[in-house]
Amino acid sequence: MSGSPSTPLARQARQLSQILRMLRKERRLTVAEVASSMAIAVRTYQDFEAGRGGLDLAKIRLFALATRSDAVSILLALMFNDPDLARQSMDNKLPTTFWISFKEFRDEVGEQISVVPPALLLEGFRRVYEETKAYLRKRADTAEDWLVRAIAETYRSPDQKADEGGG
């Protein structure tokens, strides 16, 4: 057996600390501001952010509320060693959105959920992802087109604008 039993827990604590600090700084919040929003003492928050103590799901939820981030993203980032997930979804809260949608589906179909083949859902997810990628491409194209037009307009001389009735 390699390493002590606490090694994975220590690694998890370090990673949670990294994620929490990154999100707090991304929001430009101080330790005191987050502690106050979480309604805990600054020292308690400092211990939490430093990864001291056990994994506290209630504090993660409070932290997410205080920083307007996503608790599910934080947990997934920790579970799958992917801190960027927490940062990338802190505004749109996509993992929590998925969870709420999944919970609504589960509430509606009940025990029948156990016979749903994963391939069926994977196919549906892939369609959603393709539509989302198309949205992102269109959004990028629209922004790019706007920028080209705005630059062209900005660089036109006052005489050109007057000739076109714009000045």
What are the tens digits of pLDDT across the range 118-144?
Answer: 999 999 999 999 999 999 888 888 877
Q: Give domain status of residue 36, yes or no.
A: yes
Examine residue 167 and state whether it is found in any structural domain, yes or no: no
Q: Is the pLDDT of residue 112 over 90?
A: yes
Answer with the one of 53, 73, 92 that is the final residue of a domain: 92
80 and 101 share one domain: no
Q: Both 129 and 104 in a single domain?
A: yes
Q: What distance in Å separates the CA atoms of residue 69 and residue 65, rounded to the nearest whole number?
A: 7
pLDDT of residue 52: 92
Q: Give pLDDT, residue 123.
A: 97
Burial of 148 (0-12, 13-18, 19+ CB in 10 A): exposed
Q: What is the pLDDT of residue 165?
A: 63
Residue where a domain terminates, one of 59, 75, 92: 92
- Once rounded to an integer, what is the mean pLDDT over residues 152-159? 82
Residue 73 belongs to domain with CATH number? 1.10.260.40
Residue 104 and residue 79 share a domain: no
> Could you read off the pLDDT of 92-104 as tens digits, one per residue?
999 999 999 999 9
More confident site: 161 or 125: 125
Residue 167 pLDDT: 52
Structural domain includes residue 165: no
Is 122 domain-assigned?
yes
Choose one of 92, 115, 137: the last residue of a domain. 92
pTM for the model: 0.78
**Same-domain check for residues 69 and 145:** no
**Do 85 and 101 lie in a common domain?**
no
From CA 13, how far away is CA 78, in angstroms rounded? 9
Residues 14, 49 within the same domain: yes
Q: Are residues 48 and 121 in the same domain?
A: no
How many folded domains does the chain comprise? 2
At residue 1, the pLDDT reads 41
pLDDT digit string, tens, across residues 7-57: 788 889 999 999 999 999 999 999 999 999 999 999 999 999 999 988 899
Domain range holding 143?
Answer: 96-155
106 and 83 part of one domain: no
Q: What is the DSSP letter of 116?
A: S
| pLDDT given for residue 144 in this prediction | 79
Residue with the two structure tokens 């179909």 = 109
CB 1 within 8 A of CB 69: no
